[in-house]
Amino acid sequence: MDNAQTEENVKYLRQYADEHIRQEITVQANRAYGELPSQRLDVVYPAQHAQAKLPVVFLVHGGGWVAGHKEAMQPYARLIADRGLAVVNVEYTLVPKAAYPQQVQELNQAVRYVLQNAARWPIDTGRVFLSGDSAGANIVSSNVAAVNSPEMAGQLALSPALAAPQIKGLVLHSGVYDVKVLYHAADKAGAIMSWGTHSVLAQYSGERQPSDATLDRMSAYPWLNTHFPPVYISASEADTLTKTQTLPLIERLKQLNVPVTAQIYPLSYREAINHDFNFNMRFDGSREVFDQSMKFLAQHAR
């Protein structure tokens, strides 16, 4: 997503949060879960429930793996907390400073830190959700795939902080779930688009010309199984990723009998929504997706 679009989304998201949050929200910002400057997180929860044990959502921002920051997501975290949940808003190290699987390992490290210190916050470690948009959706879905696939976890040198029963669901927006398909689809794009996609994914992979085996390790799709938790997923058909990423993921989850709730807006939809529209709260579709995702969280947190 380009910088102008990001700035617009953040502007309307912050405005919407300021106008609609109905209670005091506690934000404990920039807790260090590791030694690197990027290894920071925010813990966000409704102040009136400081002594409760709330379902917790680990929130991971997007930005094509090369941009973005958790501060842009803080209004969204506050909106979720306003619905009676705790939120952990996670920062991670961007490309090119770090290559895969460091981003997934950092999310796992953040989760472990929160679980080990859960007594400090109103968090129920038995009711965990993960949510991400775009690159963030890639990171959280890969993390959960590794929790449910010992083979994938082994290839990533990942010792999962979570056990599968703790994860009650995922909320995914405009994500990348099969990096191999994305990488090879770029061959058919124009020269500039092809070069840009290949360049970013090569840096993300840590290989100049990533092999198919490497690209598979960077994705949830090849590792999906019947143990995958319930999923809420949103996208717009105006987003070029939807056809090659979101729709195949939905189809595969249904084949595996994994509960999936999907909101895919068609090209004919009356609003001009595209990639990561869900954070631009001036759209009816964005607000609808937020409400649907909150209902999903409430349903699966019981």
Q: How far apart are the first and last CA of the chain?
A: 35
Q: What confidence score (pLDDT) does residue 193 get?
A: 61
Q: Look at residue 192 and tell me whether its pLDDT is greater than 80.
A: no
Instruction: Write down the domain spans for the chain.
Output: 3-178+219-300
Q: Determine how β-strand 25-32 pairs with β-strand 40-46.
A: antiparallel
Q: Look at residue 123 and tell me whether its pLDDT is greater than 80.
A: yes
Whether 134 is a known active-site residue: answer yes
Question: What is the mean predicted confidence (pLDDT) over 193-208?
Answer: 90
Q: Look at residue 182 and tell me whether its pLDDT is greater than 70.
A: yes
Q: Determine how β-strand 167-173 pairs with β-strand 86-90.
A: unpaired
Tell me if 236 sits within 8 A of 274, measured CB to CB: yes
Q: What confidence score (pLDDT) does residue 107 get?
A: 98
Q: What confidence score (pLDDT) does residue 7 get?
A: 81
Q: What confidence score (pLDDT) does residue 9 get?
A: 86
Tell me if 141 sits within 8 A of 172, measured CB to CB: yes
Tell me if 137 sits within 8 A of 176, measured CB to CB: yes
Q: Which of 131, 134, 142, 236 is catalytic?
A: 134
Tens of pLDDT, residue by residue over 276-297, are: 999 999 999 999 999 999 999 9
Tens of pLDDT, residue by residue over 14-43, are: 999 999 999 999 999 999 999 999 999 999
Tell me if 150 sits within 8 A of 76, measured CB to CB: no
Q: What confidence score (pLDDT) does residue 244 get?
A: 96
- Lowest mean pLDDT, pick from 105-119, 152-166, 183-197: 183-197
Q: What confidence score (pLDDT) does residue 8 get?
A: 83
- Lowest mean pLDDT, pick from 2-6, 50-54, 182-186, 187-191: 2-6
User: How far apart are alpha carbons 100 and 214 in whole angstroms?
Assistant: 10
Q: Look at residue 195 and tell me whether its pLDDT is greater than 80.
A: no
Q: What confidence score (pLDDT) does residue 1 get?
A: 43
Question: What is the mean predicted confidence (pLDDT) over 53-73?
Answer: 97
* Closest-CA residue to 128 (of 87, 156, 97): 87
Q: Which fold has domain 3-178+219-300?
A: Rossmann fold (3.40.50)
Tens of pLDDT, residue by residue over 126-171, are: 999 999 999 999 999 999 999 999 999 999 999 999 999 999 999 9
Banded pLDDT at 250 (limits 50, 70, 90): very high
* Helix, strand, coil % over all residues of the chain, rounded to 5: 50, 20, 35
Q: What confidence score (pLDDT) does residue 196 get?
A: 84
* Closest-CA residue to 135 (of 68, 189, 89): 68
Q: What confidence score (pLDDT) does residue 171 get?
A: 98
